Amino acid sequence: MKHIFRFLAAAIALSLPLSPLGARAESSLPSLKAAAVKQPVLESRAPASSGPGVESLNLPPVMFADEGVVGNSIAKVLDAAQSTLDIAIYSFDYRSLRNAITEAAERGVRVRLIINAGTAYEEGKKPSADIEAMEKAGVQIRTLRGVANYYRGIQHNKFMIADGKIMQSGSFNWTKSADTSSSENVLFISDPATIKAFSGYFRFMWAQAHAIGKDVSEYAPPPADEELVSPLADASIEFNGEAFPAASFSPLGKTGETLARAVNSASKSIDVAVFSLNLYTLVDGLIAARKRGAKVRIVSDYMQAVGKSQIDGTLKLLEAGIDMRINDGPSEAANEGNMHHKFAVFDGALVETGSYNWTHGAETRNFDSLVFSAAPEVVEAFQGEFEKLFAASTKLKASLIREKIKEREEKAAAKAEAK
């Protein structure tokens, strides 16, 4: 039975106009353990009009899905779009967002959507009801898998670009459970350079993707690796003497190397909230950071931390003396929630977030992305979210991990003997 660790959190309420990668955290945060988890109530959406465009929206630049309804803010962008919507998403079942997309297509907005091939279909390989409804409305939809071992990789991005003027990124899948059961983050970004980079990346993926149904029978061989290296955004963010790009992309875009530079550049603290962590370049970098005196704290999803792909790295981190904790998201319902964030705060001065888990798969097989920001408002917001999450999580012990590794080895031995 899944071990459930719960935390209660309140979203940071933000209402400032968009600024490049900007956000502002409340100065005083509510007590986690006294807060109650609220199930979101969807706002009724007024019909979209041809009024002011997306640039006029007064959106919260950073949102966390602990309590607020992230879907409503995304829907506002979809409703305000006037010319184009480019969406790359891993999974999709959020009815209000589906309705907003179909309405956009019906009023003449060119909508292109890339979805992971493994989540686009229901049982029997039939396109999901959401996919069928959007296609019927004129939405251009393509599916995409990952690369390397073609059938193991996934299209894991979670971003949207509206009219080339505003984009949304973060860890948030367009699903109801993301708004009700998991720890998630969303950024609304108006920075032209970042939007330009993501627009180029979307075109790159669109060219590799396939029409709905074409992936059911057979795929052409994946492109050669050298054709898959997506360019990094221009380096524009300074941190401890190093230059970092506004965005970085997978597969094979050296995103892991860029993250490792951030880890290696931190001198005071590294706070990581990541669903899954098994890329050993980063595991070893975190251990080296602690040895040189940086304070390293990690929160991961429980099932991932003790899972087959991560458990050895988890033990390595714990044996190095790193304070690692586990969480399953804010949902009170058993087996529903995830600690699904993928962000880090370095020295309280630089933030990284996006769809990119700190894993070998994210680096080499998946279509993934992340953004960097040194905007004080963004850093403050994510630091506040980490502190809430860390306080509400359960500390892992190396002894527990050793027991689980022993159980795994005993099962493997018994299975081998049975053969």
Q: In angstroms, what CA-CA distances link 116 with 215, 275, 337?
A: 11, 19, 21
User: What confidence category does residue 301 fall into, taking pLDDT thresholds of 50, 70 and 90?
Assistant: very high
* CA neighbours closer than 13 Å in the CB half-sphere of residue 133: 16
Highest mean pLDDT among 7-21, 138-152, 182-196: 182-196
User: What confidence category does residue 188 fall into, taking pLDDT thresholds of 50, 70 and 90?
Assistant: very high
Of 41, 37, 11, 10, residue with least CA distance to 337: 37
**What's the distance, Cα to Cα, between the start and end of the chain in Å?**
27
pLDDT of amino acid 368: 95
pLDDT, one tens digit per residue, over 323-354 is: 999 998 775 544 567 899 999 999 999 999 99
What are the counts of helices (DSSP H) followed by strands (DSSP E) for the chain? 13, 18
**50: Cβ contacts below 8 Å, ≥ 6 apart:** 82, 107
State yes or no: pLDDT of 255 exceeds 50: yes
- State how beta strands 210-211 and 140-144 pair: antiparallel
pLDDT of amino acid 47: 52
List the catalytic residue out of 76, 158, 341, 342.
342
Instruction: Find the range with the poorest average confidence among 68-72, 95-99, 110-114, 236-240.
Output: 68-72
Q: What share of the chain is helix, strand, coil (3-state, %, to 5)?
A: 35, 25, 40
What span, in angstroms and rounded, lies between the C-alpha atoms of 266 and 313? 21
- Per the annotation, the verdict on 342 as an active-site residue is yes
What span, in angstroms and rounded, lies between the C-alpha atoms of 297 and 352? 15
State yes or no: pLDDT of 75 exceeds 80: yes
State yes or no: pLDDT of 31 exceeds 50: no
Which CATH code for domain 54-225? 3.30.870.10
Convert 24-56 to b/e letters by CB count within 10 Å (16 or more is b). Answer: bbeeeeeebeebebeeeeeeeeeebeeeeebee
Give backbone dihedrals phi and psi of 54, rounded to 5 degrees, phi first. Answer: -60, -30
Q: Is 173 exposed, middle or buried (0-12, 13-18, 19+ CB in 10 A)?
A: buried
Tell me the two tokens of residue 220.
């052409």
Tell me the two tokens of residue 265.
């550049």
Which CATH code for domain 230-415? 3.30.870.10
pLDDT of amino acid 151: 56
pLDDT, one tens digit per residue, over 306-315 is: 888 899 999 9
Of 194, 202, 220, 186, residue with least CA distance to 142: 202
What span, in angstroms and rounded, lies between the C-alpha atoms of 276 and 308? 11
Instruction: Find the range with the poorest average confidence among 51-55, 175-179, 264-268, 356-360.
Output: 51-55
pLDDT of amino acid 233: 73
List the catalytic residue out of 76, 156, 158, 340.
340
List the catalytic residue out of 341, 347, 368, 388.
347
String of DSSP letters for 353-392 = EES--BSHHHHHTSB-EEEEE--HHHHHHHHHHHHHHHHT
Q: What stretch(es) of the chain map to CATH 3.30.870.10?
A: 54-225, 230-415
Contact at 8 Å (CB) between 350 and 379?
yes
- Per the annotation, the verdict on 156 as an active-site residue is no
- Per the annotation, the verdict on 341 as an active-site residue is no
Q: How confident is the model over 227-244, as a mean pLDDT?
A: 78
What span, in angstroms and rounded, lies between the C-alpha atoms of 126 and 131? 10
